[in-house]
Amino acid sequence: MRILEVRQPQEVAHLMQEIGVDPYGIKLMVLKAQSYLLRINGLPCIAANIIKQEMLSVGADAALSKGALTGGKIKKTDCLLFGTLAQLNRLCEKLSKQPFGLQNVSQELELSLNNYKKDNFIFCCADKKLVLGKKPRIMGIVNLTTDSFSGDGVLQVTGDRARLPLAGRGTVEKAVAKAQQMVKEGADIIDVGGESSRPGAKSITLKEELNRVIPVIAALVNKIKVPISIDTYKPEIAKAALNSGAVIINDIAGLRNPKMRKVAANFKAGVVMMHMKGNPGNMQKLASYSSLIDELISYFKKAFCNAIEAGVSKESIIIDPGIGFAKSTEHNLEVLKHLREIKILGLPILVGTSRKSFIGKILGALPEERIFGTVASSVVACMYGASIVRVHDVGAVSQALKVSSAITD
């Protein structure tokens, strides 16, 4: 006898094929092998009690507040649902015929389950398409900054030299060589940034940022075949970068600026919308949440609706929970532990843990000593639902992901 460890429905189907189960039976029983725990907040007690009765009727169960069950004074309750996919599908069907707002609950539950199960995406960015989900993808970081927290900035110098145009100092060639090496090591996207977003970082002028990033992007277009991303929250920089050959906007501000949404829509660019409170200068003072994962989901729902309304295609949107941005070490670990829950949005997820301070606090290590921590957290992120990881050390992470994928596939 064995207790089997299975991670995907396909594994269950394969096991049933091995023992000769009828194909129609396989289709039905796969749904019974997938168990879910869902939470619905703020349901009217009468609606919650109907849900509990319907869950019991399909062989599942629901947990409510004691006051909701005993006729207490409370008017609303949170609700936990325990059931297989088959049972939850039957619940959706039953709730679709019920009053008290339960038809809306049915629709949201059905959409959430479908989104959660989705692993494969086609990411559209201008004239390029990237298949996500079949294997973890890597975004390589090219920092054209003087003050990168990770110490890897191509312009890691001080004084007036950092403000001179790039072309005369060999910096373009250095950045191109770095990007080419990353692609050789396994990078699927190259992310070019000219302004540091580390905690407490100060903004630089548009002219300075343009001088840093545009010559490099223009040179990279003819040197690498993978998509180029511009790491900026400024619409003017994004527009110039897209005109120079970039096809993705990586925006730490989550497309909050309507002008940025317009730029993304006009160029049909891919976008990475990150979660952050405030700005890099004050974000760590705002690292307080009543429910971090709920806030992330709410934030991305609003950001997604704003982007779609502005004309950005759903197939062009990736979300990033913003590790290290307005989050403590405990918050960062919570995001990684519960990353799968964000899949309820039905959008590909990018995670950037590379060399960040929470790794340093765990290991007691300087940024340049955090490679192993970066590798470990990147592998975990992909196992928990990330489609892309954004890293400095492409070679090490690429090797680790190949091994972890071979084990989990």
Partner residues linked to 138 by β-bridges: 389
Exposed, middle or buried: residue 95 (CB in 10 Å: 0-12, 13-18, 19+)? buried
**Alpha-carbon torsion 5, 10, 12, 17, what sign?**
negative
Q: Using the 8-state DSSP alphabet, how is residue 85 labeled?
A: H
- Catalytic-role residue among 356, 361, 370, 402: 356
| Edge-to-edge strand list for the sheet holding 35-44 | 35-44, 76-84, 61-64
- Catalytic-role residue among 90, 234, 277, 390: 390
Q: What's the rounded Cα separation, in Å, for the pair 193 and 232?
A: 7
Secondary-structure breakdown of the chain: helix, strand, coil percentages, each rounded to the nearest 5:
50, 15, 35
Q: What's the rounded Cα separation, in Å, for the pair 359 and 378?
A: 11
Q: What's the rounded Cα separation, in Å, for the pair 313 and 186?
A: 27
Q: Is 356 a catalytic residue?
A: yes
Q: Is 277 a catalytic residue?
A: no
Q: What's the rounded Cα separation, in Å, for the pair 193 and 241?
A: 10
Cα 247 to chain center, whole Å?
18
44 in helix, strand or coil? strand
Q: Do 175 and 224 meet the contact criterion of CB atoms below 8 Å apart?
A: no
- Residues known to be catalytic: 356, 390
